[in-house]
Chains A and B, each alone.
Chain A
Amino acid sequence: MLSVSALRKEFSTGMAVDGVSFEAAKGEVFGLLGPNGAGKTTTIRMILNILVPDGGTITYDGAPFSDDVRNTIGYLPEERGLYRKSKLLDTIMYFASLRGMKRGAAKSAAAAWLARFSLLEFRDRKVEELSKGNQQKVQFICAIIHNPSIVILDEPFSGLDPVNQILFKDIFHELRTAGKTVVFSTHQMDQAERLSDSLCLINRGRVVLGGTVRDVKKKHGTNSLHVEFSGDGAFMSGLPGVRRAILYENAAELELETDAKIQPLIGAMNGKVDLSKFELVEPSLQSIFLQAVGESNAASVPAAVAV
């Protein structure tokens, strides 16, 4: 479990992280979201003790940072890089040994992961001879080889081809099943929506939204109703609980009020048109976040002017 509370970091350019708090549980994939420059990477660097926070606390499975904690964390940095002139297996073994693994254990674990990622035949090749996708796999192995209890991945999917995306996602699920805490950052909301159990949206160094994906959607999103029918649907915009209706020929998207009741709506429609499709659509995180980020930016503008 990773617990962050009231984390602060100020650079000469301004406040990068301003009171960020969240908790990522064991057996959970936690998404750290936000637009570029929101403070995600700074937060991650403080979690990894690469940067020292100006304020706030971080605990790792309940304990503060220590040399022992280093060995229980895995990290995939955003900018990808490995020692280009070094051999694959040597590189993986080196990073494993830096996380406190014994050489023997590191060797067998490396072989297993290389086989899993179908890289075993390249183990004695130099990193620079590999394709970019394969280099990313090697880096991913380096982040998880020592069986860490907390895995932190900064933008793990950026620049990844679809095949590797699926591979990485599978590993995500395995790590979750194994009871690890998986924290990943992304600015792609659809990805976060599909992958994470819980999430936290940061904008301009502050937490804008947070919680489980279900809660966030329930709390901040509005459902909409997609219907297909034959007949005249003009009446739909006047139905109770419908905030707005977009009408097409034989189809409509109805944006609902938060407390709208679905059953009466169906009843009301059934008498007037011939319904062929009826679908309740959850709001996308994308729209929720765009709205939330927009609101928080708008809210912070007067403050900035006042300063």
Chain B
Amino acid sequence: MIAKVVSVARWEYVEKVKSKAFLIGLFLTPVIMIGMGVVPTLLITQADTRTKIIGVIDPSGVVAQPLADLLQARYRLPDGSPNYILRPLTAGTSVDLEASAAEADRQTGAGDIEGYCLLGRSPEADTAIEYRSKSVGDIQLVENLQQALRIVLSERKGLSMGLDTSVIRALNVKLDMKQIKLSKTGEREDSSFLQVFFRAYVFLFMLFLLIVTSGQLLVRSILEEKSNRIVEVLVSSCSSTELMAGKVLGLSALGFTQIGFWALMGTIASLTFGIEFVTPGIAALLILYFVLGYLFYAAVFIGAGSPLTTEQEAQQVTSYLVMILVLPIALAFPAMQNPDATWLRVLTFIPLLTPTMMALRIPIQMPSTWEILATILLMLVSIFFAMIAAGRIFRIAILSTGKSPKIAEIFRWAREG
């Protein structure tokens, strides 16, 4: 009995582990995750390593110099050299703006300068300023430039109002606002909105891809066995219970390989970059939900997949399940704005959504202990019944060919066996 279950499990595991779909999922998923989540945040917040040259067209002729001085004084690279150098592209009042801008455009296009700043004619009145560059994504540069300009312009304004330079300096407060995330127990975590957002997304996507990849592999292999009647040989060699147990076992091994590999990569990445993406406790809890969700969906895929007879139907059914799985992704934003909302809790207690909802909620705000315990229990019970129902459907469905059975018929199999 056990020997045959192991034989089936071994086959399912070894053959699928070698499949392209699995290998792509295994390696590509973390790459996509990193690409989606980590890299942009890293790039945005990372300090420059080289001096950037910014052009400036200053029709008034009085702003460029103080601005250059201020930038030079304020922003330094780690090696001590200036972070920004301001290159005046014209000076004086009698400027041909059109020609200057054309020249600045050319230099920007050639990559000589990062971009350039187009100032107004009168620094006191004209505060409509433009910054033109090839990429508008350099948030850090734009913000620094803006701050420096504000200081210079308000200094000029202050001076014209007869204020003392020291007073003006004192009025220019440099702001540095940091976001701190608080957990329920009041512990502080140093993370921004973006980080939390990406963290929630990353786990949700990983769980989603994990389930979809292996679910599709499973349905496709059952279809193959049905369509070329290998299933007859299988069912004459071992009972359908042994066959399904073997498939679930093999598939689980496959999923755990994937989870284990990703966890390993995550650990290595966080050790090398020195970032603690999530605490080990949260990681362990997430992995638990991954495992529970995976097993539950394995039963769902067997129950929904084994009655099918054509590839098109399989795609249809898979896409319905995908829709259910991605639902929490659509809810990520509102969930972050209001992590305590009742509707979030309610959705969490629908077994098809429990794992993904938890993968979404845990990185945002740890749900209360009773919710965690209750959902784990809910999942265990759901897995138990889903497996029994899937087994009943599987036993009848794998031998049926020709037209796919009606949904009512499938439910009858699940109930009666």
Verify that A and B bind, or say they do not: yes
Contact between B232 and A95 (Cβ–Cβ < 8 Å)? no
Which of A77-85, A180-188, A221-229 interfaces with chain B? A77-85
In this assembly, does A3 line the interface, its C-beta being within 8 Å of a C-beta of chain B? no
Kindly list chain B residues whose C-beta atoms are within 8 Å of the C-beta of A82. Answer: 228, 230
The segment from B4-12, B336-344, B381-389 found at the interface with A is B4-12
* A80 x B7 contact (CB < 8 A): no
B227, B234, B238 pick with most chain A CB within 10 angstroms: B238
Contact B238 A98 (CB under 8 A): yes
Contact B233 A67 (CB under 8 A): no
Of A49, A73, A99, which is in contact with the most chain B CB atoms at under 10 Å from its CB?
A99
* Cβ-neighbour of A97 out of B1, B7, B15 (below 8 A): B7
Which A residue's beta carbon lies closest to that of B401?
A79
In the complex, the answer to whether A50 meets B237 with C-beta atoms within 8 Å is no
B3 at the interface (CB under 8 A from A): yes
Complex Cα distance, B242 from A99, in Å, reads: 13
**Chain A hits for B1, CB < 8 A:** 67
Residues 361-417 (chain B) with a chain A CB within 8 angstroms: 399
A83–B15 touching, CB < 8 Å: yes
Is B233 in contact with A100, judged by CB distance below 8 angstroms? no
Residue A165 is within 8 A (CB to CB) of chain B in the complex: no
| One of B15, B224, B237, B399 near A98 (C-beta < 8 A) | B237
Contact B236 A70 (CB under 8 A): yes
Question: What B residues does A83 contact at CB under 8 A?
Answer: 15, 224, 230
Contacts known (A70-B238, A85-B15, A86-B15); A45 close to B7, Cβ less than 8 A: no
**Could you say which of A77, A97, A98 has the most chain B C-beta atoms within 10 Å of its C-beta?**
A98
How big is the A interface, by class?
A: 20 to 34
Q: Is the CB of B230 within 8 A of A81?
A: yes
- B237 in contact with A99 (CB, 8 Å): yes
List, in ascending order, chain B residues with CB within 8 A of A60's CB.
Answer: none
Q: Are A67's CB and B239's CB within 8 A?
A: yes
A75 with B236, Cβ < 8 A, contacts A82-B230, A83-B224, A94-B11 known: yes
Residues of B within 8 A of A48 (CB): 232, 235-236
Flag whether B134 is at the interface (Cβ < 8 A). no
A81 nearest CB neighbor, chain B only: B228
Given contacts A83-B15, A86-B15, A94-B11, contact A45 B232 (CB under 8 A): yes
Cα distance A77–B239 in the bound complex, in angstroms: 17
A142 at the interface (CB under 8 A from B): yes
Asked whether, in the complex, the Cβ of A50 is within 8 Å of the Cβ of B235, the reply is yes
Q: Does B229 contact A (CB under 8 A)?
A: yes
Q: In the complex, which of the residues B3, B228, B234, B236 contacts A49, with contact meaning CB atoms closer than 8 Å?
A: B236
Counting chain B CB atoms within 10 Å of each CB, which of A50, A80, A85, A90 scores highest?
A50
The interface residues of chain B lying within 8 Å CB-to-CB of A49 are 235-236
B407 to chain A, nearest CB (A): 18
Q: Give per-residue flags for A148-191: 1 if the beta carbon is below 8 A from chain B beta carbons, else 0.
A: 00000000000000000000000000000000000000000000
Bound-state Cα–Cα, A15 to B239, Å = 26
Taking CB atoms, residues of chain B closer than 8 Å to A80 are 228-229
Which one of A45, A70, A81, A85 contacts B237 once the chains associate, using CB atoms below 8 Å? A70
A142 and B238 CA atoms in complex are apart in Å by: 15
Minimum distance in angstroms from B399 CB to a CB of chain A: 6
User: B335-353: contact bitstring with A at CB < 8 Å (1 yes, 0 no)?
Assistant: 0000000000000000000
Q: Is B140 an interface position by the 8 A CB rule?
A: no
Find the A residue at minimum CB distance from B12: A94
Shortest CB distance B16–A (Å): 10
- Distance between Cα atoms of A8 and B23 in the complex (Å): 49
Q: A interface, by DSSP: helix, strand, loop or mixed? A: loop
Residue numbers in A under 8 Å from B15 (CB-CB): 83, 85-86, 90
Partner of B399, one of A50, A70, A142: A50
Chain A residues, Cβ within 8 Å of B45: none
B14: which A residues are within 8 A, CB to CB?
Answer: 90
Main secondary structure of the interface of B (DSSP, over half): helix
Cross-chain contact A81 with B229 (CB below 8 angstroms): yes
- Interface check B19, CB cutoff 8 A: yes
Collect the chain B residues with CB atoms within 8 Å of residue A67's CB.
1, 239
Return A137 CB to nearest CB of chain B, in Å.
16
Cβ–Cβ contact B7 & A98, under 8 A: yes
A75 touches B228 (CB 8 A): no
Query: Which residues of B sit under 8 angstroms from A95, Cβ to Cβ?
Result: 233, 237
In the bound complex, what is the Cα–Cα distance between A86 and B237 (angstroms)?
19
Per-residue 0/1 for B210-228: is the Cβ within 8 Å of any A Cβ (1 yes, 0 no)? 0000000000000010011
Asked whether B233 lies within 8 Å of A84 as measured between CB atoms, the reply is no
A77–B7 touching, CB < 8 Å: no
Q: Nearest chain-B residue to A102 (Cβ)?
A: B3
Question: Which residues from chain A contact B228 at a C-beta distance below 8 Å?
Answer: 79-82
A97 / chain B contacts, CB cutoff of 8 Å: 3-4, 7
Which residues of A lie under 8 Å from residue B233 when comparing CB positions?
75, 77, 95, 98, 142-143
Residue of B nearest to A99 (CB): B237
Residues from chain A with a CB closer than 8 A to the CB of B237 are 70, 95, 98-99
Residue of B nearest to A80 (CB): B228
CA distance A100 to B236 in the complex (A): 12
* CB atoms of B229 and A77 under 8 A apart: yes
Q: In the docked arrangement, what's the CA distance between A95 and B225, Å?
A: 13
A65 to chain B, nearest CB (A): 10
Q: How many Å from the CB of B239 to the closest CB on chain A?
A: 7
**Chain A's nearest CB lies how many Å from the CB of B389?**
21
A45 to B235, CA, bound (A): 10
With A and B bound together, what is the CA distance between A101 and B82 in angstroms? 75
Chain B residue at minimal CB-CB distance from A139: B233
CA distance A82 to B11 in the complex (A): 13
Interface membership of chain A positions 11-54, coded 1 if the CB is closer than 8 angstroms to chain B and 0 otherwise: 00000000000000000000000000000000001001111000
Contact residues in A for B230 (Cβ distance below 8 Å): 81-83
Beyond A83-B15, A100-B3, 17 extra complex contacts between A and B, CB < 8 Å: A45-B232, A48-B232, A48-B235, A50-B232, A50-B235, A70-B236, A70-B237, A73-B236, A75-B232, A77-B233, A81-B230, A90-B14, A90-B15, A97-B3, A98-B7, A98-B8, A98-B233
- Which 4 pairs across A and B sit closest by C-beta, in order of nearness? A81-B228, A98-B237, A48-B236, A97-B7
Please, could you name 12 A-B residue pairs with CB atoms under 8 Å apart, sorted by A? A67-B239, A70-B236, A70-B238, A75-B236, A77-B232, A79-B228, A83-B15, A85-B19, A95-B237, A98-B8, A98-B237, A100-B3
